[in-house]
Structure 1
Amino acid sequence: MASKLASDDFDEQFLTCPVCMLHFRDARILPCLHTFCKQCLQEWASKQDPLECPTCRTQVSLPDQGVDGLKTNFYVNNLLDFAALKKGTETGMPCQVCEGNMEGPKSWCADCATLMCESCAVVHRKLPATKDHEVTAEATLRAERGVSKFQRKRHCNKHKNHELVFYCESCNALVCTACTVVDHRPGKDHNPVEISSVAQMKKQTLQGLLKQIEPRLKEIEASIEEVDRKMSKISPSKDAATNQTKAYFRQLVDMLKKREQEILSQIDEQCRVDSKGLQAKKEAIEFELAELTSAQTFCQQAVEYGSDVHVVEVGNQVQTRVETLLAKQLDLESDWSEFQFVENTSLFEFENEVKHFGGLETNVDISKCKVAVKPAVRGFRCVTVLTTMTKEGCPCVTNSKAVTANIKDPSGNDVMTQLQMKSGGVWEISYTPKVTGKHRLEVKVNSQQVTRRPLNVQVRSEDTPVLTIGREGSGVGDLYRPAGVAVDKDGNIAVVDKRVQIFDADNGQPLKSFPVDGENPYGIDKDSHGRFLVTSWGADCGIRRYSKEGELLNTLKPDCVKDPTGVTVLKDGRMVVADGKQESCLLLQPDGSLIREIGKGHLLDPRFIAVDESRDVMFVTDGSNANHKIFTFDLEGNLIFSFGEEGENDGELQNPNGITLDPTGNIIVGNGGDGRVQVFGPNGAFIRKVATAKGGEACGIALTPNGYIAVSCWREDCVEMYRYM
Structure 2
Amino acid sequence: MASKFQASDDFDDQFLTCPVCMPHFRDPRILPCLHTFCKGCLEEWVTKQQPLECPTCRTQVSLPDQGVDGLKTNFYVNNLLDFAAAKKGAEPGVPCQICEGNREGSKSWCADCAILMCDSCTLLHRKFPSSKDHEVTTEEILKAEEGRSKFHRKRHCDKHKKYELEFYCEICKTLVCTACTVVDHRPGKDHNPVEIATVAQKRKDTLQGLLQDIDPRLNEIEASVKEVERKMSNLMPSREEATNRANACFNQLVDLLREREKEIVGQIDEQCRADGKALQTKKEAIEFELVGLTSARTFCQQAVEHGSDVHVVEVGNQVQTRVETLLAKQLDLESNWSEFQFVENTAVANFKKAIGDLGGVKTDIDASKCEVVVKTAVEGFECIAELTTMNQEGRPCVTNSRAVTANMKDPSEHNVPTQLQMKYGGEWEISYVPTVTGIHRLEVQVNSEQVGGSPFDVQVHGKETPALTIGQKGRGVGELNWPLGVAVDKDGNIAVVEKGNKRVQVFDGRRGRSLSTFAVEGEKAFGIDVDSNGMFLVTSWGKNYGIRRYSKEGKLLNTFQPDCMKHPLGVAVLQDGRMVVADNKQKSCLLLQPDGSLIREIGKGQLRSPYFVSVDESRDVLFVTDNSAHKVFAFNLGGKLMFDFGKQGDNDGEMKNPHCVRVDPAGNVIVGNAGDGRVQVFGHDGTFTQKIATVEDGYATGIALTHDGNIVVACFHGHCMELYMYK
Q: Place the TM-score, normalised by the shorter chain, in its bin.
A: 0.5 to 0.7
Q: 1:526 aligns to what?
A: 500
TM-score (structure 2 length as normaliser): 0.61
User: Number of residues paired by the alignment?
Assistant: 519
Do the aligned partners of residues 694 and 143 (structure 1) sit closer, same or farther apart at CA in structure 2, a change above 3 Å counting? Answer: closer
Letter in 2 for 1:646: F
**Alpha-carbon displacement from aligned partner over 1:543-567 (angstroms, at most 9, x marks no partner):** xxxxxxxxxxxxxxxxxxxxxxxxx
Alpha-carbon distance in structure 2 between the residues aligned to 1:351 and 1:131: 102
**Alpha-carbon displacement from aligned partner over 1:96-115 (angstroms, at most 9, x marks no partner):** 44555433221111223322
Alpha-carbon distance in structure 2 between the residues aligned to 1:39 and 1:697: 44
Alpha-carbon distance in structure 2 between the residues aligned to 1:56 and 1:77: 22
Task: Work out whether residues 110 and 152 of structure 1, in 8 Å CA contact, stay in contact via their aligned partners in 2.
Answer: yes
1:50 Cα deviation from its structure 2 partner = 2.9
Letter in 2 for 1:48: Q
- Does 406-415 or 18-27 show the bigger shift? 406-415
Q: 2:346 aligns to what?
A: none
1:121 Cα deviation from its structure 2 partner = 2.4
1:75 Cα deviation from its structure 2 partner = 0.9
Q: 1:394 aligns to what?
A: 395
Q: 1:601 aligns to what?
A: 586
1:679 Cα deviation from its structure 2 partner = 9.0
Q: 1:377 aligns to what?
A: 378
Do the aligned partners of residues 185 and 494 (structure 1) sit closer, same or farther apart at CA in structure 2, a change above 3 Å counting? Answer: closer
C-alpha root-mean-square deviation of aligned residues, in Å? 5.0
1:577 Cα deviation from its structure 2 partner = 7.7
Asked whether 1:693 is paired with 2:642, we answer no
Do the aligned partners of residues 367 and 723 (structure 1) sit closer, same or farther apart at CA in structure 2, a change above 3 Å counting? Answer: farther
1:14 Cα deviation from its structure 2 partner = 1.9
Asked whether 1:36 is paired with 2:37, we answer yes
- Does 142-151 or 204-213 show the bigger shift? 142-151
> Which SS does the other structure have where 1:404 is aligned?
strand
Task: Work out whether residues 405 and 443 of structure 1, in 8 Å CA contact, stay in contact via their aligned partners in 2.
Answer: yes
Alpha-carbon distance in structure 2 between the residues aligned to 1:112 and 1:104: 20
Alpha-carbon distance in structure 2 between the residues aligned to 1:240 and 1:22: 51
Alpha-carbon distance in structure 1 between the residues aligned to 2:208 and 2:526: 45
Task: Work out whether residues 624 and 661 of structure 2, in 8 Å CA contact, stay in contact via their aligned partners in 1.
Answer: no
Alpha-carbon distance in structure 1 between the residues aligned to 2:103 and 2:197: 38
Task: Work out whether residues 472 and 719 of structure 2, in 8 Å CA contact, stay in contact via their aligned partners in 1.
Answer: no
Do the aligned partners of residues 355 and 451 (structure 1) sit closer, same or farther apart at CA in structure 2, a change above 3 Å counting? Answer: farther
> Which SS does the other structure have where 2:121 is aligned?
helix
Q: 1:550 aligns to what?
A: none
Alpha-carbon distance in structure 2 between the residues aligned to 1:433 and 1:608: 37
Asked whether 1:624 is paired with 2:624, we answer no
Task: Work out whether residues 64 and 572 of structure 1, in 8 Å CA contact, stay in contact via their aligned partners in 2.
Answer: no
1:713 Cα deviation from its structure 2 partner = 12
**Alpha-carbon displacement from aligned partner over 1:334-378 (angstroms, at most 9, x marks no partner):** xxxxxxxxxxxxxxxx99976643322222222221101111223
Could you tell me which runs of 5 or more consecutive residues in structure 1 were left unpaired when the two chains were aligned.
258-349, 470-483, 497-522, 531-568, 579-583, 612-618, 632-638
**Alpha-carbon displacement from aligned partner over 1:418-442 (angstroms, at most 9, x marks no partner):** 3223222221122233444433222
Q: 1:181 aligns to what?
A: 182
Do the aligned partners of residues 524 and 447 (structure 1) sit closer, same or farther apart at CA in structure 2, a change above 3 Å counting? Answer: same
Alpha-carbon distance in structure 2 between the residues aligned to 1:461 and 1:352: 49
Q: 2:348 aligns to what?
A: none
Alpha-carbon distance in structure 1 between the residues aligned to 2:357 and 2:673: 57
Q: 1:646 aligns to what?
A: 645
Alpha-carbon distance in structure 1 between the residues aligned to 2:719 and 2:51: 33
Do the aligned partners of residues 366 and 696 (structure 1) sit closer, same or farther apart at CA in structure 2, a change above 3 Å counting? Answer: closer
Q: 2:594 aligns to what?
A: none
> Which SS does the other structure have where 1:214 is aligned?
helix
Identify which of 566, 587, 601 aligns with 2:542: 587
1:253 Cα deviation from its structure 2 partner = 4.6
**Alpha-carbon displacement from aligned partner over 1:568-587 (angstroms, at most 9, x marks no partner):** x9645832489xxxxx9842
1:39 Cα deviation from its structure 2 partner = 0.5
Q: 1:273 aligns to what?
A: none
Q: 1:305 aligns to what?
A: none
Alpha-carbon distance in structure 2 between the residues aligned to 1:93 and 1:16: 24
TM-score (structure 1 length as normaliser): 0.61
Instruction: Show the 5 A alignment for 1:358-437.
Output: 358-437=359-438
Letter in 2 for 1:375: T
Alpha-carbon distance in structure 2 between the residues aligned to 1:363 and 1:678: 53
1:165 Cα deviation from its structure 2 partner = 0.7
Task: Work out whether residues 380 and 433 of structure 1, in 8 Å CA contact, stay in contact via their aligned partners in 2.
Answer: yes
Asked whether 1:161 is paired with 2:162, we answer yes
Q: 2:236 aligns to what?
A: 235
Alpha-carbon distance in structure 1 between the residues aligned to 2:121 and 2:42: 37
Do the aligned partners of residues 48 and 574 (structure 1) sit closer, same or farther apart at CA in structure 2, a change above 3 Å counting? Answer: farther
Do the aligned partners of residues 447 and 248 (structure 1) sit closer, same or farther apart at CA in structure 2, a change above 3 Å counting? Answer: farther
- Does 19-28 or 127-136 show the bigger shift? 127-136
Instruction: Show the 5 A alignment for 1:425-464.
Output: 425-464=426-465
1:150 Cα deviation from its structure 2 partner = 1.5
Alpha-carbon distance in structure 1 between the residues aligned to 2:460 and 2:5: 63
1:401 Cα deviation from its structure 2 partner = 3.0
Alpha-carbon distance in structure 2 between the residues aligned to 1:243 and 1:495: 62
Letter in 1 for 2:587: H
Asked whether 1:575 is paired with 2:576, we answer no
**Alpha-carbon displacement from aligned partner over 1:395-416 (angstroms, at most 9, x marks no partner):** 2222333222223344444433
Could you tell me which runs of 5 or more consecutive residues in structure 2 were left unpaired when the two chains were aligned.
259-350, 484-496, 505-517, 528-538, 546-564, 569-582, 589-606, 615-622, 648-652
Q: 1:23 aligns to what?
A: 24
Do the aligned partners of residues 128 and 33 (structure 1) sit closer, same or farther apart at CA in structure 2, a change above 3 Å counting? Answer: same
Q: 1:677 aligns to what?
A: 679
Task: Work out whether residues 676 and 696 of structure 1, in 8 Å CA contact, stay in contact via their aligned partners in 2.
Answer: no
Task: Work out whether residues 89 and 105 of structure 1, in 8 Å CA contact, stay in contact via their aligned partners in 2.
Answer: yes
1:724 Cα deviation from its structure 2 partner = 5.7
> Which SS does the other structure have where 1:60 is aligned?
coil
Do the aligned partners of residues 572 and 31 (structure 1) sit closer, same or farther apart at CA in structure 2, a change above 3 Å counting? Answer: farther
1:86 Cα deviation from its structure 2 partner = 2.4
Task: Work out whether residues 673 and 696 of structure 1, in 8 Å CA contact, stay in contact via their aligned partners in 2.
Answer: no
Task: Work out whether residues 107 and 137 of structure 1, in 8 Å CA contact, stay in contact via their aligned partners in 2.
Answer: yes
Letter in 2 for 1:361: K
Asked whether 1:85 is paired with 2:86, we answer yes
Task: Work out whether residues 159 and 178 of structure 1, in 8 Å CA contact, stay in contact via their aligned partners in 2.
Answer: yes
Larger Rg: 1
Q: 2:533 aligns to what?
A: none
Alpha-carbon distance in structure 2 between the residues aligned to 1:66 and 1:713: 26
> Which SS does the other structure have where 1:13 is aligned?
helix
Q: 1:133 aligns to what?
A: 134
> Which SS does the other structure have where 2:156 is aligned?
coil
Letter in 1 for 2:523: R
Alpha-carbon distance in structure 1 between the residues aligned to 2:151 and 2:685: 66
Q: 1:102 aligns to what?
A: 103
Alpha-carbon distance in structure 2 between the residues aligned to 1:97 and 1:644: 82
1:721 Cα deviation from its structure 2 partner = 5.3
**Alpha-carbon displacement from aligned partner over 1:512-560 (angstroms, at most 9, x marks no partner):** xxxxxxxxxxx99532699xxxxxxxxxxxxxxxxxxxxxxxxxxxxxx
Task: Work out whether residues 473 and 719 of structure 2, in 8 Å CA contact, stay in contact via their aligned partners in 1.
Answer: no
Q: 1:200 aligns to what?
A: 201
Task: Work out whether residues 379 and 462 of structure 2, in 8 Å CA contact, stay in contact via their aligned partners in 1.
Answer: yes
Do the aligned partners of residues 596 and 166 (structure 1) sit closer, same or farther apart at CA in structure 2, a change above 3 Å counting? Answer: farther
Task: Work out whether residues 659 and 670 of structure 1, in 8 Å CA contact, stay in contact via their aligned partners in 2.
Answer: yes
Q: 2:314 aligns to what?
A: none
Letter in 2 for 1:197: T
